[in-house]
Each structure stands twice: as C-alpha cells, then as structure tokens.
Amino acid sequence: MRVAVAAWLIPGSGHLMLGRKWRALILFISILSMFLLGLVMSGEFFTVHAGSLLERLGFFGEMAVGVAMPTTLFFGYSGGDPFFVSADYGTAFLVAAGMLNVLAIFDAYDIAMGRKN
C-alpha cells in the first residue's frame, strides 16, 4: 500500500521504490510535462463543489496527479482563463495527467503484489 500512496503523491515514485528507475523517470517526466503544459495553456481547475457530476469527476481526475495540484494552488494559480484560445486543451491535459498517474499507480501496485513483472 505504501507503493501506491507514494506513486500517487509523486508520479513515478512507486516504481522507483520497486527499483524500476527508468520507468519511474519516464512516468515522472511525462506526467509532470502534461500537467505543466496544461498550466501553460491556462487549463481550468475543477472544484468538488460544482453542480455537475462531470465537473466533480474532473476534480478527482486532476487531484490524481498528486502534490502537483495543491502545490500550484498554494503558489497562486487560480485556474484557467475561459477566453484563452487553448484553455479547453489545457484542462484536458490536466485531467489526462491525473488519469495517466492513476494507471501508473495501478501498475506499481500490481508489480508490488507480484501480479506483473
């Protein structure tokens, strides 16, 4: 379970704990790059208190990226600009980074449990 929590907090750290350094590096760079590209494209952060179920799911998708989202909120990123031309793509990148991290968490957990090599 520690591997799964570490993989959620910092993308790739679960694989690093399992001794898979190259896979950990690839996951860390790809997930963080997607997240940063989403920020550069002025992607919007969803809230858990939104009226729509899809917006709530988007919030959990973005939170799956780990400490990157709370860190960005702490440093003052307030979310996207809906009038910016690539804001929708940025939002998609933010959610996709979280979903990719969910897959990495499941992969690290399966390796730790011995179900995968």
pLDDT value of position 79: 76
**What tokens does 64 get?**
């799956």
- How many CA atoms lie within 13 Å of 83's alpha carbon, on the beta-carbon side? 0
- Predicted TM-score (pTM) of the model is 0.88
Domain residues for 50?
Answer: 2-113
Across residues 58-66, what is the average pLDDT? 91
Higher pLDDT, 55 or 98: 98
Inter-residue contact 1 to 58 (CB < 8 Å): no
Q: What percent of the chain has pLDDT over 70?
A: 100
pLDDT value of position 55: 87
- Distance (Å, rounded) from C-alpha 45 to C-alpha 66? 14
For the chain, the domain total comes to 1
